[in-house]
């Protein structure tokens, strides 16, 4: 049925339905386009497409375990990726593989001219390697974002606000051995710079910072050069062998040492066999020594009998001399006992005299009560005199004492009741 055959009411409803369907399709297309744009933007933001990237390059002995797109690590974080790897020309004998990579913002700020290196480290046991850059320890930043300007010394003196301007180069003396001014330092000593024979200075304005790199450090010239699309900073490489190569070297060393190990085991076997023979021989010797040991036991049992070995060693005349010596010693001890008695009596008399002397002194002190006060005052005055000598500037050094580290006092154990001791 044609559209002209429908009633006006049906044609009105149909046009409204078509308009609603059109609006629904348009809204769906807009939502689809918005979702696609948001996905692309979110992906680009996660991958750092909108971030500033600083290009670097280094050299490697081989490309084993590396591939394009691998992350570049800094202090355990993925801060960039490898963008290019190519072998060097055949006539280049110092380097083998050219490796180019990028570092994202703001991580290129950690790379300085001193201490920053490119290290190829093993990542797993299957030969995979990772490129890792190290944090700088000094020097200058590899890239700067301030506009560079070359001026004469007269123009440098006439700058309106010199506090915003820093040197973008190193200034050495005429001999080239002494550094007069460092880069990224204010040029306040223009007189010393002029004495070096320098006529123009490369400076940078720190009051204006660009989003892209404006200068790259030139290690040979000691200055910042204008940064272009082809500018790349070189990081010195530190390359270690892969784990598989280390395992191959270890296996080779084991193979070389294996014959010596086998020879050592043969020597140990020979030593053990000799030890077994020695123990068997010792057993035979012990069996042969049994009669001699029994005879020695019998001989020692007969030493205390008359006519035995004891009388051979100590004859009867020696026994008489020993008895005489013991008698003389006994008489000497008896006379010494008498002398000790007399000495004890004399000591008793001396003690009695000392007691009388102390009693007389006690009576004198009781009679004259001022004696103890005078003695105490004399002692106090003597102490004051000695303390004054210690504080005098001329005699102070004579009374210095060395500090002695006294051990800490042992902690006192608390006293516990018998009941508490039993509970413990």
Same domain as 76, residue 136: yes
CA-based Rg of the chain, rounded to a whole angstrom?
A: 53
Tokens of 343: 């000495």
User: CA 111, 112, 117, 121 torsion: positive or negative?
Assistant: negative
Q: Which residues pair with 102 in a beta bridge?
A: 55, 81
Picking from 161, 190, 207, the residue at the C-terminal end of a domain is 207
- Provide the pLDDT confidence category of residue 113 given band limits of 50, 70 and 90: very high
Examine the domain organization and report whether 199 and 214 are in the same domain.
no
User: If you average pLDDT over residues 341-347, what whole number do you get?
Assistant: 79
Q: What is the mean pLDDT of residues 269-274?
A: 86
Question: Taking 70 as the threshold, does the pLDDT of residue 360 lie above it?
Answer: yes
Is residue 243 classed exposed, middle or buried when 0-12, 13-18 and 19+ CB atoms within 10 A define those classes? middle
Place 59 in a pLDDT band, splitting at 50, 70 and 90. very high
* Predicted pLDDT at 276: 84
Residue 35 has pLDDT above 60, yes or no: yes
Residue 228 in this model has a pLDDT that exceeds 80: yes
257, part of any domain: no
Assess if residue 8 is contained within a domain: yes
Question: Which of 137, 142, 350, 324 shows the shortest CA–CA distance to 227?
Answer: 142
Does residue 152 have a pLDDT over 70?
Answer: yes
pLDDT recorded at residue 192 = 86
Domain membership of residue 253 (yes or no) is no
Q: Residue 398's pLDDT band (boundaries 50, 70, 90)?
A: low
Each residue's pLDDT tens digit, 307-340: 555 555 556 667 677 778 888 877 777 777 777 7
**Does residue 99 contact residue 85 with C-beta atoms inside 8 Å?**
yes
Q: Are residues 221 and 202 in the same domain?
A: no
Residues 328 and 185 in one domain: no
Do 221 and 136 fall within a single domain? yes
Between 174 and 144, the more confident residue is 144
Domain boundary among 194, 224, 240: 240
Claim to verify: residue 153 and residue 166 sit in the same structural domain: yes
Answer for the pair 107, 132: CB distance below 8 angstroms, yes or no: no
- Locate tokens 């700058």: which residue? 159
In a domain, 180, yes or no: yes
79 occurs within a structural domain = yes
- Count CA atoms within 13 Å of residue 325 on its CB side: 6
Distances from the Cα of 364 to the Cαs of 201, 354, 359, in angstroms?
104, 15, 9
Q: Does residue 3 register a pLDDT over 70?
A: no
Whether the predicted model's global pTM rises above the 0.85 cut: no
- Least Cα distance to 142 among 119, 186, 109, 169 occurs for 109
Task: For residues 215 and 120, state if they share a domain.
Answer: yes
In a domain, 373, yes or no: no
**From edge to edge, which strands make up the β-sheet containing 53-60?**
233-234, 53-60, 97-104, 77-87, 71-74, 129-133, 118-122, 237-239
* Confidence (pLDDT) at 395: 65
Instruction: Give 160's pLDDT tier (boundaries 50, 70, 90).
Output: low
Do 121 and 234 have their domain in common?
yes
Q: What was the pLDDT predicted at 405?
A: 56
Q: What integer pLDDT is reported at residue 319 of this predicted model?
A: 67
Q: Please indicate, yes or no, if residue 283 is contained in any of the structural domains.
A: no
My answer on whether 215 and 343 are in the same domain is no
**Are 118 and 235 contacting, i.e. CB atoms less than 8 angstroms apart?**
yes
* Confidence grade of residue 413 (pLDDT, cut at 50, 70, 90): low
Q: What is the mean pLDDT of residues 299-308?
A: 62
Name the domain count of the chain.
Answer: 4
pLDDT tops 70 at residue 112: yes
Across 249-261, average pLDDT: 77
Cβ neighbours around 40 below 10 Å, total? 11
Mean pLDDT of 374-384: 81
Q: Do 225 and 118 have their domain in common?
A: yes
Residue 155 lies in a domain: yes
Structural domain boundaries enclosing 183: 149-207
Question: Is residue 400 pLDDT above 60, yes or no?
Answer: yes
Shared-domain flag, residues 112 and 218:
yes
Rounded distance between C-alpha atoms, residue 81 and residue 74, angstroms: 11
3-class SS letters over 330-342: HHHHHHHHHHHHH
C-beta of residue 82 within 8 angstroms of C-beta of residue 101:
yes
CATH for 171: 3.90.105
User: Can you tell me the distance from the alpha carbon of 183 to that of 198, in angstroms, rounded to the nearest whole number?
Assistant: 15
- Give the 3-state DSSP-derived string for the chain, with helices as H, strands as E and coil as C: CCHHHCCHHHHHHHHHHHHHHHHHHHHHHHHHHHHHHHHHHHHHHHCCCCCCEEEEEEEECCCCCCCCCCEEEECCEEEEEEEEEEECCCCCCCCCEEEEEEEECCHHHHCEEECCCEEEEECCCCCCEEEEECCCCEEEECEECCCEEEEEHHHHHCCCCHHHEEECECEECCCCCCEEECCCCCCCCHHHHHHCCCCEEEEEECCCCCCCCCEEEECCCCEEEECCCCCCEECCEEECCCHHHHHHHHHHHHHHHHHHHHHHHHHHHHHHHHHHHHHHHHHHHHHHHHHHHHHHHHHHHCCCCCCCHHHHHCCHHHHHHHHHHHHHHHHHHHHHHHHHHHHHHHHHHHHHHHHHHHHHHHHHHHHCCHHHHHHHHHHHHHHHHHHHHHHCCCCHHHHCCCCCCCCCCCCCCCCCCHHHHHHC
Tokens of 208: 């204006």
Please compute the mean of the pLDDT values over residues 339-353 and round it to a whole number: 80
Query: Does residue 236 sit in the same domain as residue 338?
Result: no
> Mean pLDDT in the chain?
81
More confident residue, 253 or 317: 253
Report pLDDT for 299: 67
């Amino acid at each position: 049925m044609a559209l002209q055959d429908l009633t006006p009411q049906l044609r009105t409803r149909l046009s409204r339905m078509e308009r609603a369907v059109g609006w629904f399709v348009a809204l769906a297309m807009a939502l689809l386009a918005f979702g696609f744009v948001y996905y692309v933007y979110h992906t680009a933001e996660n991958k750092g497409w909108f971030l500033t990237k600083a290009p670097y390059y280094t050299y490697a002995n081989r490309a084993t375990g590396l591939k394009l797109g691998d992350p570049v690590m800094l202090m355990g974080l993925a801060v960039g990726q490898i963008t290019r790897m190519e072998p060097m020309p055949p006539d280049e004998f110092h380097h083998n593989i050219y490796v180019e990579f990028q570092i994202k913002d703001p991580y290129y700020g950690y790379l300085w001219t001193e201490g920053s290196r490119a290290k190829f480290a093993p990542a797993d046991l299957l030969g995979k390697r990772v490129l890792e850059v190290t944090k700088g320890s000094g020097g200058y930043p590899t890239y700067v974002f301030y506009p560079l300007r070359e001026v004469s010394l007269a123009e440098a003196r006439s700058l309106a606000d010199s506090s915003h301007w820093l040197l973008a180069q190193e200034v050495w003396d005429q001999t080239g051995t002494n550094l007069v001014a460092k880069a990224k330092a204010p040029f306040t000593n223009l007189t010393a710079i002029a004495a070096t024979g320098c006529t123009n200075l490369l400076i940078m304005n720190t009051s204006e910072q660009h989003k892209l790199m404006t200068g790259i450090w030139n290690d040979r010239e000691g200055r910042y050069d204008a940064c272009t699309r082809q500018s790349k900073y070189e990081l010195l490489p530190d390359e270690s062998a892969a784990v598989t190569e280390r395992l191959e070297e270890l296996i080779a060393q084991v193979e070389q040492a294996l014959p010596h190990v086998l020879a050592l085991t043969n020597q140990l076997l020979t030593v053990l066999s000799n030890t077994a023979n020695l123990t068997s021989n010792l057993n035979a010797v012990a069996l042969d020594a049994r009669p001699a040991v029994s005879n020695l036991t019998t001989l020692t049992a007969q030493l205390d009998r008359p006519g035995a070995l004891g009388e051979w060693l100590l004859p009867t005349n020696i026994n008489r001399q020993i008895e005489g010596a013991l008698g003389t010693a006994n008489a000497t001890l008896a006379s010494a006992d008498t002398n000790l008695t007399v000495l004890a009596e004399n000591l008793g008399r001396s003690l009695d005299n000392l007691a009388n002397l102390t009693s007389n002194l006690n009576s004198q002190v009781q009679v004259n009560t001022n004696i103890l006060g005078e003695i105490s005052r004399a002692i106090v005055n003597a102490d004051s005199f000695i303390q004054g000598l210690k504080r005098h500037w001329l005699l102070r050094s004579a009374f210095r004492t060395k500090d002695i580290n006294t051990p800490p006092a042992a902690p006192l154990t608390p006293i516990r009741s018998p009941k508490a001791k039993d509970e413990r």
